[in-house]
Amino acid sequence: MTEPLLRRLHARGERITVAALPWVAPVYRLMPHVSTTIELPFAHGGLQWTARRALAKTLRGQFDRAVVCPNSLKSALVPWWAGIPQRVGYLGEARWGLLTARLPNPKKHERAPMVAFYAALSGEAAVSHDKPILVPDVGADSAALSALGLERHGYWAMAPGAEYGPAKRWPAEHFAALVQAVFQKTGQPVVLLGSNKDSAVCEAISCLANADSPGACRDLSGKTRLDQAFSVIGNARAMVSNDSGLMHIAAAFGVPQVALFGSSSPLHTPPLSDAAQVIWLKNAPHYRPPLDCAPCFARDCPLGHTRCLRDITPEMVMERLF
């Protein structure tokens, strides 16, 4: 979601270095306007003062300006310790003294779509129609597909996970039914993608789908590097996913996709692609009773029914895929 911001900075002549955690750094290597990507040696959680100070020391004198996209305190520490003269970001987590230019941080439900939210850090007016774009690495794609035994456009991709929590995940039995329907219609398998955290749900989907339709599903969750997962997405016939990071990767590649929203809102984090279709029962005109509870932005359904996702049927998704 930060790609349009970086594209703006590059267009006005700035040379861009991105510092990112290892799980997201491969995304920035697919952006031609990013000159260098630094993988941050930090574990998830904790301030890790010593490691951040050590990294900051290596960066001193190299940069004129830092744009701090995350809202956390720890994300602003390295630019401050590195003595970067201009440090731009949104107010948040007691960062007043760490930033030299601070944008007011609206409440989550009042924010513009995330692309515009980040693009505003360029100092220019936010443009909500900016779309993230990733440029495929043809050589890397060929190597990844060969290693995984896949052929371009010879399979479908699905990402059943959602890091934030169960309230963003379409039911496993719905995914399994969709896998079977796609396989029966096309004769091509479905590849499941995700991290190790998604392995349990992906295994359940694969077992359900293959029980009745042997060969319909192949589970690659936790079995690929992130860059390989990008190659799989970029060369699939189409992608079906929850509101997740991999959804945005498919959108940035322009892959045909169906994105399923429940507790979150496509008004806030939509897949920005002309090839994307969104299903969100909140705005479905004939859906009754209305979902007054959505979007709740909760990790778990506060009402215990998850109707916002459970009532999206595999048939609805098939209609949009074909």
Residue 79 shares a structural domain with residue 111: yes
Residue 215 shares a structural domain with residue 283: yes
* Any domain includes 317: yes
Residue 84 shares a structural domain with residue 175: no
Q: Output the furthest CA–CA distance in the chain (Å, rounded).
A: 62
- What was the pLDDT predicted at 98? 94
Task: Provide the residue range defining the domain that includes 302.
Answer: 138-321
In eight-state DSSP terms, residue 274 is T
Express each pLDDT in 40-71 by its tens digit. 988 777 788 999 999 999 999 999 999 999 98
* Any domain includes 127: no
Q: How far apart are the C-alpha atoms of 154 and 205, rounded to whole Å?
A: 20
Last residue of a domain, one of 122, 155, 188: 122
Residue 106 shares a structural domain with residue 171: no
Q: CA 248, 273, 294, 1: dihedral to nearest 10 degrees?
A: 40
* Any domain includes 72: yes
Contact 166, 301 (CB under 8 A): yes
Contact 157, 190 (CB under 8 A): yes
Per-residue tokens: 303: 């009402």
Would you call 127 helix, strand, or coil by DSSP?
coil
What count of other Cβ atoms lies within 10 Å of the Cβ of residue 110?
7
Residue 198 shares a structural domain with residue 249: yes
Domain count for the chain: 2
Q: At what angle do helices 172-186 and 314-321 cross, to 10 degrees?
A: 40
Residue 147 shares a structural domain with residue 255: yes
Residue 183 shares a structural domain with residue 282: yes
Q: Which residues pair with 192 in a beta bridge?
A: 158, 219
Residue 195 shares a structural domain with residue 155: yes
- The per-residue pLDDT string of the chain (322 residues; one tens digit each, 9 = 90 and over) reads 899 999 999 999 999 999 999 889 999 999 999 999 999 988 777 788 999 999 999 999 999 999 999 988 999 999 999 999 999 999 877 788 899 999 988 776 666 678 888 988 998 765 556 889 999 999 999 999 999 999 999 999 999 998 888 899 999 999 999 999 999 999 999 999 999 999 999 999 999 999 999 999 999 999 999 999 999 999 999 999 999 999 999 999 999 999 999 999 998 889 999 999 999 999 888 888 888 899 999 999 999 999 999 999 999 999 999 9
Residue 83 shares a structural domain with residue 151: no
Contact 235, 250 (CB under 8 A): no
pTM metric for this prediction: 0.89
Residue 77 shares a structural domain with residue 164: no
Would you call 240 helix, strand, or coil by DSSP?
strand
Q: CA 157, 279, 177, 206: dihedral to nearest 10 degrees?
A: 40
Query: In CATH, what number is assigned to the domain containing residue 240?
Result: 3.40.50.2000
* Any domain includes 131: no
Per-residue tokens: 51: 């490691």
- Measured over the CA atoms of residue 112, residue 259, residue 18 and residue 12, the dihedral's sign is negative
